[in-house]
Amino acid sequence: MNAVRFVALVAVGLLAASLRAGEPSASERGKAALETRTFNPAPWPLSAYGNAWKHWQPPLKQKPADYDQAFRDYYGLHPAPYANKDLPMGLRHGSRLFTTGIANDCMICHGGSILGKSYVGLGNASLDIHTLFEDFNKVSGLGKLPFVFSNARGTSEAGGMAVYLLALREPDLSLRLTPLELGLKDDLCEDTPAWWLLKKKKSMYHIGSSDARSVRSIMQFMMTPLNGRTTFEKEEKTFADIQAFLLSMEAPKYPFPMDRELADKGKMLFEKSCVKCHGTYGPEWTYPNRIVPLDEIGTDPARFHGISRKAGEHYNRSWFAQEKGQEGYLARETNGYQAPPLDGVWATAPYFHNGSAPTLEDVLNSKTRPKIYTRSFRTGEEDYEQTKVGWKVQVLDKAPAASEPGVLRRRVYDTTQPGRGNGGHTYGDALTPDERRAVIEYLKSL
Ligand code: HEC
Ligand code: HEC
């Protein structure tokens, strides 16, 4: 090959490479889609944000001075770590008939904060989604919510929402005239899993009922009756990009000093008692993707039983399950809860599928778990419990009376209520206090 041709070829090669470098990757496109788009039309006018305080409990005489902060505190939202027109993470501008309104997006539940810093992909452990939607509906002249969207702050009835919306659709996603009876339950109290765990999982959701590679499954949150089949088909590519972004995420690192020696002791104990369900960590990680039978794990059964067989069958007949042509990604029945990977577990309190254990210490000692308690629902250093690892709580003698406003009742986690039981997972009970401290020290390093 002569020199001129060689130089020309190299130049073309470089040009092609730089073009490729300029094009966003699938995960970059997915990140941009999450941070800039809403996949549902906006239900509320822009004025809903500024007027919501008129329904706060106890009632206020005037709008709070630092309204943005007061609004985030009241509903459990966090500043957006991306441009969001001054709205908190999880709310955003969207189209509403011929104007602009407010919509919610995935980050209302999947955008959280730890030590005062917001993260896309950390579950929102502060949110009172029922109160937020209820107040926005009130100030917008819209009706009551069709069922309970959350029973305890930081958890939501995401499963109930999916069942409710699925019941309005035929398998081809056209709208039904009357909703199907799919046995909707609204006391599952679901804690939102961190997105960075998805890349290790073969099956997802707390009971491992779906293939973790299903793109259409995570499109269920687009089911507002205003979205037709063509919109779902059009956005499938976008959701494949979103999935690529979720699969690229890494857990945040523990920011405080750690006792390495103690952590090494904890690692040995972890290898003995925990690895068989939760896997190993580091560059050569393994994850067994184990689903532990309900009677063995013994945690609250409501989420396990909460989605009816009928709902599963309807899902499996629908567009959502037909993803890979004939084969499809069918939802399946399992026999218990999936032992999650524990990467970044220092940041994901409260624990268990229903958020019933506020700290790792509570996870590892079933006898001392608090029964009825509240917390600040703020996420600063002063709200974080560094020794037990998780949220500081204030234990109460009794739960608020049923006559109290819902927003106040939802601030109390009452483990005697349906869906909120804090029993089971007794694998840490036999550890001595020193051993437990060592295991917790090790868990900080994951
Ligand atoms: C109302 C709150 C809420 C909204 C909005 C929401 N999610 Fe979720 N998401 C959850 C909860 C809760 C779970 C766990 C459900 C369960 O298994 O009980 C979950 C589970 C998931 C999972 C599986 C995680 C795992 O490891 O098992 C993915 C992926 C996911 N959501 C993606 C999304 C995307 C993408 C959006 C936006 C299109 C979205 N979610 C909107 C609350 C929400
Ligand atoms: C037999 C399997 C099994 C063993 C052994 C086991 N776990 Fe678990 N673990 C689970 C399951 C299943 C869950 C989820 C339960 C639920 O959410 O209802 C869980 C949940 C957890 C959680 C909460 C995770 C979260 O994000 O909410 C932590 C932390 C944890 N385990 C730590 C440990 C440690 C440390 C050990 C060893 C002392 C251990 N586990 C032993 C199965 C196991």
Give the range among 10-24, 177-191, 253-267, 356-370 with minimum mean pLDDT. 10-24
Our answer on whether the CB atom of 201 is closer than 6 Å to any ligand 1 atom is: yes
Note the pLDDT of residue 5.
54
Ligand 2 mean position to 399 CA, how many Å? 27
With a 6 Å cutoff on the Cβ, whether 360 touches ligand 2 is: yes
Lowest mean pLDDT segment, chosen from 93-97, 236-240, 350-354: 93-97
> What mean pLDDT comes out for the span 136-148?
96
- What is the Å distance from ligand 2's center to 402 Cα? 33
Q: Is the pLDDT of residue 172 over 80?
A: yes
Contact in structure between 446 and 281 (CB atoms under 8 Å): yes
Radius of gyration of the chain (CA): 23
pLDDT at 4 over 60: no
15-29, 356-370, 425-439: least confident range: 15-29
Q: Which ligand is nearest to the CA of 293?
A: 2
Ligand 2 in contact with 162 (CB < 6 A)? no
For the chain, give every domain's residue range: 25-444
Question: What's the pLDDT score for residue 14?
Answer: 47
What is the residue with the minimal CA distance to atom 5 of ligand 2?
274
Which one-letter amino acid corresponds to residue 426?
T
Residue nearest to atom 34 of ligand 2 (CA): 274
Please give the model's pTM, rounded to 2 decimal places.
0.94
* 1 Cβ contact partners less than 8 Å away, ≥ 6 residues apart: 9
State the pLDDT confidence band at 20, using cuts at 50, 70 and 90: low
CA of 317 to the centre of ligand 2 (A): 33
Q: Which of 11-25, 197-211, 316-330, 412-426 has the lowest mean pLDDT?
A: 11-25
Is residue 278 in contact with ligand 2, taking CB distance under 6 Å? yes
Q: How far does residue 196's CA lie from ligand 1's centre (Å)?
A: 12
Q: Whose CA is nearest to atom 2 of ligand 2?
A: 277
Quickly state the pLDDT bin for 1 (edges 50, 70, 90).
very low
Report pLDDT for 378.
98
Given a cut of 60, whether residue 12 has pLDDT beyond it is: no
Beta-carbon contacts of 179 under 8 Å, excluding residues fewer than 6 positions away, are: 164, 167, 168
Sign of CA dihedral 149, 152, 154, 160: negative
The set of residues, in sequence order, having a beta carbon less than 8 Å from that of 174 and lying 6+ positions away, is 228, 229
Minimum-distance ligand 1 atom for the alpha carbon of 149: 1
Distance CA 186, CA 245 (A): 30
Please choose, from the candidates 169, 195, 37, 29, the residue with its C-alpha nearest in 3D space to the C-alpha of residue 103.
37
Looking at residues 305-329, what average pLDDT do you find? Answer: 90
Q: Would the pLDDT of 275 be above 80?
A: yes
Residue 309 Cα to ligand 2 midpoint, Å, equals: 26
pLDDT for 108 beyond 80: yes
Smallest-distance ligand from the CA of 359:
2
376-394 average pLDDT score: 98
Residue 391 has pLDDT above 90, yes or no: yes
**Tens digits of per-residue pLDDT, 194-223?**
999 999 999 999 999 999 999 999 999 899
pLDDT band at residue 3, thresholds of 50, 70 and 90?
A: low
Q: Residue 278 Cα, ligand 2 centroid: separation in angstroms?
A: 7
- Please tell me the number of the ligand nearest to residue 188's CA: 1
3-class DSSP state of 412: strand
Label residue 97 by pLDDT band (50, 70, 90). confident
Average pLDDT over all residues of the chain: 94
pLDDT of residue 15: 47
- Please give the pLDDT value at position 148: 97
Quick: pLDDT tens for 241-252.
Answer: 999 999 999 999
Rounded CA separation 205/211 (Å): 9
Query: Which ligand lies nearest the alpha carbon of 165?
Result: 1
Q: Predicted confidence band at 21 (pLDDT cuts at 50, 70, 90)?
A: low
Distance (angstroms) between ligand 2 centre and the Cα of 339 equals: 6
pLDDT tens digit string along 323-341? 876 678 999 999 999 999 9
85 pairs with which residues across the strands? none
Residue 125, amino acid: A
Amino acid present at 20: R
